[in-house]
Structure 1
Amino acid sequence: MGTYVGVRGWLEFTHEQRAAVEEVLAAHRHDPYSDGWAVPARPFNWTLYVSHGGDVRAPSVDWLRSQVAELALLADSDGDRPVGFFLLTDERRHATAWTVRDGVAHEGAAPEELRGFA
C-alpha cells in the first residue's frame, strides 16, 4: 500500500500576494493532494495564512516540498518573503520539519516537543 506522511503547516503572505500564490498552486496541481491547500475565501486582517493539511503518499512529499520552495520565493512589494512552518510525520514515527524563511524551505528534524504528533 505504501507509506503515508501526515503534512500540516502554513505560510504567511500579504494579501497583495494572493494572485501569485494561487498561480503557483494551480501550476503544480496534483490530485488529490492539492486539495490539502487552504486559502481563505476573502481577506481579513492583514496576513494571508495559506495552509496545507493532509496525508500524502511518501513519494509525493517531494512534489509538495518543491511547491513550498517555490512559494517561499514570492516577495511582496517591500521585498519580504513568506515565513512558515510544516510538520511532517509518517507511519514509522519519523518527524520532520520544514521551516520557511528568507526564500528557503529548510528541512530538519522536528522540534522535540512536536515529535509526539508522530
Structure 2
Amino acid sequence: MGVFVVIRGWLECDNRQFAQVRDIVEQDDPDRTYSGGWAFPPRQYNFANWVFFGAGMRAQTVGWFLDRLQRVARIPASDDDDDLITGLFLVSHEVDGMSEWQVRDGTVVIRAASQEYRFLDE
C-alpha cells in the first residue's frame, strides 16, 4: 500500500516572484498526480501575493515537492525591499511524524514541528 505524507502550506511573495513561482510549477506535467495541489488565487489583495499547496501523496514523491520548493526559495528578491519569498509548510509523514518546512533566506529549513500542530493529524 505504501506510506503517505500530507503536505499543506503557503508562500508569500511579490508580483514578480509570484509569476516566477507559477512558471516553476507550470513546468511540471499537468497530468502529474500532485501538480494540481498548487493554488494561485486569481485575485491578490494589498501588498503581498499568496500561493498555496495541499496534497496527500506517497512518501516517495516528497522529494519531487521539496525540489520544487527549493527552486522557489532561490528566486531572488525583485523589489527595493530585497524581500525573498517566505512560507511555511507542515509535512505529516505516516511513519516519521510531522515536520515544519520554513521557506526563508533563500532556502528551505526543515525541522521538527511543534506538538501544537498535532491536531491536524488526528
Paired position in structure 2 for 1:16: 16
* 5+ residue gaps, structure 2: none
Any gaps of 5 or more consecutive residues in structure 1? none
The number of residues matched between the two structures is 118
Aligned equivalent of 2:5 = 5
Correspondence for 2:47: 46
Aligned to 1:99: 102
Please report the RMSD computed on the Cα atoms of aligned residues, expressed in angstroms. Answer: 1.6
Write the distance in 2 (CA, Å) between the matches of 1:16 and 1:24: 13
TM-score with structure 1 length normalisation? 0.90
Letter in 1 for 2:113: A
TM-score (norm 2): 0.87
Percent of residue pairs bearing the same amino acid type: 36
Cα distance in 2 between the residues matched to 1:106 and 1:80:
17
**Partner of 1:77 in structure 2?**
79
In the TM superposition, what is the alpha-carbon distance from 1:108 to its structure 2 partner? 1.0
Letter in 2 for 1:111: S
